[in-house]
Amino acid sequence: MLLEEPIKEAKTVRNYIGGEWVEPRGKPVDVVNPATGRTIATVGNSTREDLDDAVKAARAAFPEWRRTTAMARSRILFRFKELLEQNFEELSRIQTMEHGKCIDESRGETRRGIENVEVACGTPMLMQGYHSQDIASGIDEWVIPSPLGVFGIIGPFNFPFMIPLWSAPYAVATGNCVVIKPSSEVPLSQMRLAELAEEAGFPPGVWNTVNGGRLVVDGMLDHRDISGITFVGSTPVGRDVIYKRCGETGKRVIAQCGAKNCLVVMPDANVGATIQACQTSFFGNTGQRCLAAANLIVVGEDGFYKNFMATMIERVRQMKVGYGLDESIQMGPLRDRAKKERVSGYIDVGVKEGARLSLDGRLVKIIGAYPETAFLGPTIFEDVEPSMTIAQEEIFGPVMSVLRAGTLDEAIEICNSSPYGNGHSIFTSSGPYARHFQNNVDSGNVGVNIGIVAPMALFPFGGMKDSFFGVLHTQGREALRFFTESKVAIQRWF
Ligand code: NAD
């Protein structure tokens, strides 16, 4: 049964600047529900002037906001969290409509986003500095974590609601103001989030949302009044545009980027639980997760491999693909036609390079009467070699590439040959295997019997090699460090 859609008529997405709702100056584009093909909104492409207005408003709000006590700031966050809970289901359904993911995946995203607000509510205690009395004779010294001003927060399309919340709650809780630029492909849940931020009572200018694309990002990178940027998106943009330009303009930066995650299966793994975890990891969110598994590396003899893969293919073949507002659906469409074509292109490449196509997602049967524009079923390639394109490049879609390794060390070597290092995982019932893997794999997040190694809000969201550029991370304590300068006060009284 289809759940009720919260968006009945196409909306006009506005910017939220200095406590006002304003139309972006640039030309609007349509936001299309990838499952139904229906236009659900139009969103303007903001100009540098729009961004300037937002930064001015944020800059103007900063002196008063930083002087507001941490407890008073936190009280607004508590109200915000309450409003997010009250609107939990609506927020989740909006994500399904703008992105295509299944409703349960959207609910998971909403929950993970709210958890960051909850952790940020503890900022009054978490941001306390430290102190030494008589560090030298008659001299006391202490650290005062101090907000820096205005931060730009740039989001990707794949987690429209949650990802800005890896940063924004911590930024405002520590006394900064934010300008959020959602992905222009999925601006609706961020518009709803800004409405709830307004209702929670953030003073005008503390929380701003500016919609658009590259113009806004370039404007942020050049802006003298932006102290730092958090970016989540692809490696070419994160590394070559964001990280580089922040270095040139002296801004602090967190750039969380692309991935190609490996899931290693040892012959002593719990087969049932491993297959279930693989299904969610490879095909959840239609493979559009930075922590989605992309390469499955099976270690062991032919007998184990054949049984394991036969069960896997059968289970995956039965996955129900359709509109995510139908609760029985297990996989939604890709975000749009261009993404489907891109992923289909990789399937062609895999076939050309000689991998065996054991399950072809292009032949999938969709549940319900929807246009086929963005739907692509789960796809499995076997006999994949580490050097093949489908084993190396980020496909960002529901494609499993299966490789084989003779030993755990060989499997680790395959993992570490990737330029990325975001979320590799091992499935085993052996402590020594798990420990060896954990200690030797180059990955910012490492899993043992975990399919999607997403750190909870209390922990930093890691990443290594081409998956991350920066030092501190989003979420938890590290986010608090990122959004504050450790001002050191040294005092002597004569
Ligand atoms: P993207 O890099 O295309 O876009 C990210 C943001 O940058 C968007 O807001 C977009 O408007 C902007 N942008 C795009 N091109 C730009 C340019 N040339 N100059 C300036 N700004 C530009 O990424 P996407 O397709 O939205 O997201 C998917 C990517 O994000 C994948 O590579 C995925 O692995 C990655 N991702 C990483 C993490 C992580 O934590 N490491 C989490 C989620 C997604």
- How many angstroms does the Cα of residue 232 sit away from the middle of ligand 1? 6
The residue with tokens 């499935």 is 427
Closest approach atom of ligand 1 to CA 422: 41
Average pLDDT (111-124) is: 98
Residue nearest to atom 39 of ligand 1 (CA): 256
In total, the chain counts a number of residues equal to 494
Dihedral class, residue 403 (left if φ above 0, else alpha if ψ from -120 to 50, else beta)? beta
Nearest ligand 1 atom to the CA of 256 is 41
How far does residue 51's CA lie from ligand 1's centre (Å)?
19
Q: How much is the pLDDT for 492?
A: 98
For residue 461, give the ligand 1 atom closest to its CA.
40
Cα–Cα dist 365/329, whole Å: 12
CATH 3.40.309.10 fits 261-448, yes or no: yes
Alpha-carbon distance 177 to 169, whole Å? 10
What's the angle, vertex CA 279, arms to CA 31 and CA 419, rounded to 5? 75
What is the Cα–Cα distance from 338 to 265, expressed in whole angstroms? 33
Domain ranges, ordered by start, for the chain: 11-257+467-492, 261-448
Which of ligand 1's atoms lies nearest the C-alpha of 237?
2
CA of 258 to the centre of ligand 1 (A): 8
- pLDDT tens for 358-391 read 999 999 999 999 999 999 999 999 999 999 999 9
In the predicted model, what is the mean pLDDT of residues 128-139?
97
- 102, 278, 290, 415: the catalytic one is 290
| Nearest-angstrom CA–CA distance, 419 and 54 | 37
What pairing do the DSSP bridges indicate for beta strands 15-17 and 20-22? antiparallel
* Cβ(209)–Cβ(440) below 8 Å: no
Do 188 and 40 touch, CB atoms closer than 8 A?
A: yes
pLDDT in tens, 284-302: 999 999 999 999 999 999 9
Mean pLDDT value across the chain:
98
Phi-psi region of 6 (alpha: psi -120 to 50; beta: other; left: phi over 0): alpha
- Residue 426 confidence class, pLDDT cut points 50, 70, 90: very high
Helix, strand and coil in the chain, % to nearest 5: 40, 25, 35
**Distance between CA atoms of residues 460 and 252, nearest Å:** 17
Nearest to 405, CA basis, from 417, 395, 397, 393 = 417
> Which of 95, 166, 234 to probe ligand 1 with, by most ligand atoms within 8 A of CB?
234
Could you tell me if 171 and 116 are in contact, meaning their C-beta atoms sit under 8 angstroms apart?
Answer: no
pTM above 0.75, yes or no: yes
pLDDT at 217 (0 to 100): 98
Q: Which of 290, 396, 445, 472 to mutate to test the pocket of ligand 1 (most atoms within 8 A of CB)?
A: 290
Q: What integer is the mean pLDDT of 14-40?
A: 97
In angstroms, rounded to a whole number, what is the distance separating the alpha carbons of residues 278 and 412?
Answer: 18
Element (H, E) at 479: helix 476-482
Reported as a single tens digit per residue, the pLDDT across 227-285 is 999 999 999 999 999 999 999 999 999 999 999 999 999 999 999 999 999 999 999 99
Active-site annotation holds for 290: yes
Nearest-atom index, ligand 1, CA of 156:
26
Does residue 219 surpass a pLDDT of 90?
A: yes
Q: Which CATH class is domain 11-257+467-492?
A: alpha beta
What confidence tens digit (pLDDT) does each residue in 59-109 have? 999 999 999 999 999 999 999 999 999 999 999 999 999 999 999 999 999
Give me 267's structure tokens. Answer: 């012959």
Compute the distance between CA of residue 474 and CA of residue 455 in angstroms, rounded to an integer: 10
d(CA 88, CA 110): 7
CA of 156 to the centre of ligand 1 (A): 4
Query: What single string gives the DSSP state of each residue in 116-184?
Result: HHHHHTTHHHHT---EEEEEETTEEEEEEEEE-SEEEEE--SSSTTTGGGGTHHHHHHTT-EEEEE--T
* The pLDDT of residue 1: 85
d(CA 305, CA 293): 18
Gap from CA of 273 to ligand 1 centroid (Å): 32
Q: Which amino acid is at 286?
A: T
Q: Which helix (H) or strand (E) holds 310?
A: helix 302-317
CA of 293 to the centre of ligand 1 (A): 18
Instruction: Provide the Cα torsion 65, 69, 72, 76; round to 10°.
Output: 40
Taking CB atoms and a 6 Å cutoff, what residues make up the pocket around ligand 1? Answer: 154-159, 181, 183-184, 213-214, 217, 232-234, 237, 241, 256-259, 290, 394, 396, 422, 461, 463, 467
pLDDT tens sequence across 153-211: 999 999 999 999 999 999 999 999 999 999 999 999 999 999 999 999 999 999 999 99
Number of Cα atoms under 13 Å in the Cβ half of residue 393:
13
